Amino acid sequence: MDFTLLKSFIAVAEEKSFSSAAKNLFISQQTLSKQVAKLEEDLGTTLFIRSRPLGLTPDGGRLLPIAKEILQLKQQFEESSSRSFSGAHYIHLGIEHTIARAILPQILPRFLKDHPDTYVKLSEETPDVMQKSISYEGVDLVIGSLGSVPDKFRAVPLCRKEHVLVVPKEILALLAGEKAGELAERFSRGADLSFFEQAPFIKIPRQSSGGRALASYLKYYDISPRFVCELTNIENAFQLANAGVGVFIYARVFWDMLSRELQEDYLRNICIFPLPYLPDIEDVCAYYNRDAGISGMTQELFQAVKDFFEEYKAQTQDSPDFS
């Protein structure tokens, strides 16, 4: 049995649209149509009434709950198989790439030490992919940025995502000349992004949370800077800023999670200036399927994540200075 065909069938049945389902599965509509046709061929029946909106045939309606049950049994088997070599409890956690880099080293070692019979499977993806993973990949809990909350999700805010401006010192010197030191001191309490409009900028695509944050700040300051490069990985963009390529906007939580020694090493080449908090920027949150809920060790890990962010917020509440 090709489980991908069942997953595709369920997606089309729930979305009532091949195009919407294809977007949710991150495949082309043509590929999805071929998968559904293959399933219909294998089963020797027609599953969909090709109308608008798309409808299920009687056989399609009978298959839908069976397909869901088959995938649930598959997940249960995979979990029990994992338990056979890793312990009694299994957690499937979805987490946004950069958030994983920031918080997992702070949380997971202690959690696994306290729960040695627990096996944690991590899926590190972009926010858009993570939203779909709850429905189609068996993920129990997601930690990441969430722009809008679908009805079937419950979202729990963890931390508002404040941002900092990463400015190579050589670029600051070119813009400010002899006043670079004075300006750095002033901006250490809050940067004026409009001052850097003539500086080269590093761009993150808007479909990512980092790209949407960048767009919000450019709109807030009403500036149109010159972009010199574009890349999708926020950590790589930060490294390019550190190398002097351009100015970059970076989530403060990611900077704060770096060790003090690494921060000091970076600060030889860059300045870190806080930016005002913009309420339209996505917060870091946890979310899960409202109907399925979370329990057991997943609930324990969720609590550890919440405790971590509460401690982080208490530590950073009164420390705006990055000098």
Query: Can you say how many angstroms the Cα of residue 64 is from the centroid of all Cα atoms in its chain?
Result: 30
pLDDT value at residue 108: 94
Strand (E) positions, the chain? 48-49, 55-56, 89-96, 118-125, 141-145, 153-159, 163-168, 200-203, 226-230, 248-251, 270-274, 284-289
pLDDT value at residue 79: 55
In whole angstroms, what is the distance from residue 12 CA to residue 224 CA?
A: 41
Ramachandran category for residue 228: left, alpha or beta (phi over 0 → left; psi -120 to 50 → alpha)? alpha
pLDDT tens digits along 263-306 = 999 999 999 999 999 988 888 989 887 777 888 889 999 999 99
CA angle 45, 51, 52 (to 5 degrees): 145
Give 163-274's CATH code, choosing from 3.40.20.10, 3.90.230.10, 3.40.190.10, 2.40.30.10: 3.40.190.10
Which of 79, 83, 65, 51 is CA-nearest to residue 9? 65
CATH of domain 3-71: 1.10.10.10
Backbone φ and ψ for 29, nearest 5 degrees, come out as -65, -35
In whole angstroms, what is the distance from residue 121 CA to residue 138 CA?
A: 11
Residue 36 near residue 16 (C-beta atoms within 8 A): no
Find the Cα–Cα–Cα–Cα dihedral 73, 77, 78, 79, rounded to 10°.
100
- Every domain range in the chain assigned CATH 1.10.10.10: 3-71
pLDDT value at residue 8: 87
Residue 42 near residue 55 (C-beta atoms within 8 A): no
Which of 8, 72, 4, 88 is CA-nearest to residue 292? 72
Q: In 3-state terms, what secondary structure has residue 89?
A: strand
What is the DSSP secondary structure assignment for residue 51, as one 8-state letter? S
Q: Tens-of-pLDDT digits for all 323 residues of the chain?
A: 678 888 888 888 888 888 888 877 767 888 889 989 999 999 999 999 988 788 999 999 999 989 888 877 776 666 556 554 455 688 888 888 888 888 999 999 999 999 888 889 888 876 666 666 665 566 788 898 866 666 778 889 999 889 999 999 999 999 999 999 999 999 999 999 999 999 999 998 877 788 889 999 999 999 999 999 999 888 899 999 999 999 999 999 989 988 899 999 999 999 999 999 998 888 898 988 777 788 888 999 999 999 999 999 888 875 555 55
Give the homologous superfamily in CATH for domain 87-159+283-316.
Periplasmic binding protein-like II (3.40.190.10)
User: Can you name the residues that pair with 157 across neighbouring β-strands?
Assistant: 285
Q: Find the largest Cα–Cα distance for the chain.
A: 78
- Every domain range in the chain assigned CATH 3.40.190.10: 87-159+283-316, 163-274
CA angle 103, 92, 20 (to 5 degrees): 100
User: How, if at all, do strands 118-125 and 89-96 pair?
Assistant: parallel
Where do we find the tokens 């963890």?
A: 158
In whole angstroms, what is the distance from residue 306 CA to residue 300 CA?
A: 10
Residue 53 in tokens: 């909106």
In whole angstroms, what is the distance from residue 70 CA to residue 84 CA?
A: 21
| Cβ count near 317 (within 10 Å) | 8
